[in-house]
Amino acid sequence: MHLRVKALESVLVEKGFVDPAALDAVIELYAEKVGPKNGAQVVARAWTDPAFRARLLEDATSAVAELGFTGSQGEHVVAVENTETLHNLVVCTLCSCYPWPLLGLPPVWYKSNAYRSRAVIDPRGVLKEFGVELGEQTEIRVWDSTAEVRYLVIPQRPAGTQALDEAQLATRVTRNGMIGTALL
C-alpha cells in the first residue's frame, strides 16, 4: 500500500496539485496538535458559562470558533446536550465523518463497520458494550454525522464538581463522552 501512496503523492506533487511541505504540516497538525482536548475545553466552557452554552446550542460552529477551533471537517458543527432524560450518541453510518478541529481524528472503533452499522439499529446494546447502561426512561437519540453536519455531544457535568474551575473541569471530559459512548 505504501507504494500506491508514494505513486499518488509523487504524481500529485509533480503536477503541482499538492505541496510536500503542506503535507508535512497537515500530518503534524493532526498527529500531534489537534485532539479531544479542544472539545473538552468547549464542554467545560459550556458548563461554566451559560451565555456560551446558549450560543453553542444555537450555533456551535460560531461558538467553537470563539475558542479558535476552526478548520477542515469543522465547517458545520452542531452541539447536542445530554440531560437526565436524554442521551445523545454520534455515528457516521456512511464513512467516518467527525469534527476534527474539536476531537482530532476518530478512534478505530468509530470507523469500524460494526459500530457504523449497529449504533443506529441497537444503540442500547452498543452503549452496553461501552459499559454504559441507561435506564429505560432515558431516551437515546442517535445522530448520523455527515460531511455537511458533524455533532459534538455535551455530556452532563459530573456530580460533585461545583468547586472545580473551567480548566479543571476540562480534564474530566473524555473523548468518548463527547461522542456519546461514555458517561462522565
Partner 1 sequence: MPEFPATPFGAPERPPFAEPWQAQAFALAVQLHAQGAFTWPEWSQALGAALAAGGDDADYYDCWVAALERLASERGLASAGVLGDRKQAWADAYRRTPHGKPVEL
Cell of 62: 460560531
Q: Is 97 in the site for partner 1 (CB under 8 A)?
A: yes
- Nearer to partner 1 by C-beta: 56 or 92? 92
Cell of 61: 460552529
- Give bridge partners of residue 90 from the DSSP assignment: 143
Residues 42-71 within binding reach of partner 1 (CB under 8 A): none
Per DSSP, helices labelled H in the chain are 2-14, 20-28, 36-48, 50-58, 60-66, 100-103, 108-111, 113-121, 123-129, 166-170, 175-179
**CA-CA distances (angstroms) from residue 10 to 3, 23, 79, 182?**
10, 12, 40, 42
Residue 116 near residue 91 (C-beta atoms within 8 A): yes
Q: Is 161 in the site for partner 1 (CB under 8 A)?
A: no
Select from 31, 133, 167, 168 the one that contacts partner 1 (CB under 8 A).
31
Binding mask 104-143 for partner 1 (x = CB under 8 A): xx-xxx-xxxxx----------x--xxx------------
- Nearer to partner 1 by C-beta: 55 or 100? 100
- Nearer to partner 1 by C-beta: 24 or 133? 24
Q: Is 167 in the site for partner 1 (CB under 8 A)?
A: no
Non-local (6+) Cβ contacts of 38 within 8 A are 67, 69, 101, 102, 103, 104
Residue 169 near residue 115 (C-beta atoms within 8 A): no
Q: Is 7 in the site for partner 1 (CB under 8 A)?
A: yes
Q: Is 10 in the site for partner 1 (CB under 8 A)?
A: yes
| Binding stretches for partner 1 (CB under 8 A) | 1-12, 15, 17-19, 22-24, 26-27, 30-31, 36-37, 40, 72-73, 75, 92, 94-97, 104-105, 107-109, 111-115, 126, 129-131, 146-148, 171, 173-177, 181-182
